[in-house]
A and B are shown apart, each in its own frame.
Chain A
Amino acid sequence: NAGVTQTPKFQVLKTGQSMTLQCAQDMNHEYMSWYRQDPGMGLRLIHYSVGAGITDQGEVPNGYNVSRSTTEDFPLRLLSAAPSQTSVYFCASNPDPFNPNEQFFGPGTRLTVL
């Protein structure tokens, strides 16, 4: 298994540009989520999904959209990038959203918005 994969690893955008951060997992996990990590702020939840076709907002959803058309993929879209979205983004998956257990994180995408 490749686990949780994310692309790209690095990205530089100009203010106002749009882009999609890709996330995929091959473990057949129902629960997937997106976090952003900023210095001194820990991991903050952006959006999450408990299964295909179901998404919900986390702690910091503004400026981001998600969709979950398949179990495997959970892309994160920035419609109009802002410098405040400069961060490291992590995707994570979990086999069972209704029971507490290990989350598996991807390697991250480092995004800079100029």
Chain B
Amino acid sequence: GENVEQHPSTLSVQEGDSAVIKCTYSDSASNYFPWYKQELGKGPQLIIDIRSNVGEKKDQRIAVTLNKTAKHFSLHITETQPEDSAVYFCAARVGPGGSYIPTFGRGTSLIVHP
């Protein structure tokens, strides 16, 4: 089955700095890679996703890059703000024709210091 590794487990940055979280996956058939943000006491919420036919996707201060050859994808947050502090999860999922069950990474706790 799919195995998703996520690093680092904890990331501490100063407000205004950039933050990068990296994930690797094992199943070359995976074709959908979402990122979820979980604030304290709440359920995870999708913030951005990318499909395997795209190398990069941006949404304001957030971007995700995908390297299918190396089987890794990354979340980039620029100009971090204290409200970006949360736990971030990556996931990998195989679409039609394969397993539809996403596999999650173990999460990264991002702390943005004012």
Q: Which of B12-20, B37-45, B77-85 touches A?
A: B37-45
Task: Report whether B101 and A43 are in contact in the complex, using a CB–CB cutoff of 8 Å.
Answer: no
Given A42-B89, A43-B44, A107-B42, also A98-B106 (CB < 8 A)? no
Task: Report whether B106 and A100 are in contact in the complex, using a CB–CB cutoff of 8 Å.
Answer: no
Task: Name B residues whose Cβ lies closer than 8 Å to a Cβ of A.
Answer: 6, 9, 31-32, 34, 36, 41-46, 49, 51, 89, 93-96, 100-102, 104-107
Interface secondary structure of B, over-half rule: loop
State the Cβ distance, B22 to closest chain A Cβ, in Å: 15
List the A side residues contacting B105 at CB < 8 Å.
Answer: 42
Task: Report whether B43 and A108 are in contact in the complex, using a CB–CB cutoff of 8 Å.
Answer: yes
Contact of A45 among B32, B101, B106 (CB under 8 A): B101
The CA of A80 and the CA of B101, in the complex, are separated in Å by 27
Task: Name A residues whose Cβ lies closer than 8 Å to a Cβ of B.
Answer: 4, 31, 33, 40-45, 48, 50, 58, 90, 92, 97-103, 105-108
The CA of A47 and the CA of B41, in the complex, are separated in Å by 22
The CA of A106 and the CA of B95, in the complex, are separated in Å by 23
List the B side residues contacting A107 at CB < 8 Å.
Answer: 41-43
List the B side residues contacting A31 at CB < 8 Å.
Answer: 100
The CA of A79 and the CA of B101, in the complex, are separated in Å by 25
Given A41-B106, A43-B89, A43-B104, also A100-B51 (CB < 8 A)? yes
Task: Report whether A100 and B101 are in contact in the complex, using a CB–CB cutoff of 8 Å.
Answer: no
**Given A92-B43, A108-B41, 19 extra CB contacts under 8 A:** A4-B43, A40-B9, A42-B89, A43-B44, A45-B101, A48-B101, A58-B101, A90-B43, A90-B44, A97-B100, A100-B51, A100-B93, A101-B32, A103-B34, A103-B46, A105-B36, A105-B45, A106-B43, A108-B43
List the A side residues contacting B45 at CB < 8 Å.
Answer: 105
State the Cβ distance, B76 to closest chain A Cβ, in Å: 20
State the Cβ distance, B87 to closest chain A Cβ, in Å: 9
State the Cβ distance, A36 to closest chain B Cβ, in Å: 12
List the A side residues contacting B104 at CB < 8 Å.
Answer: 42-44
State the Cβ distance, A38 to closest chain B Cβ, in Å: 10
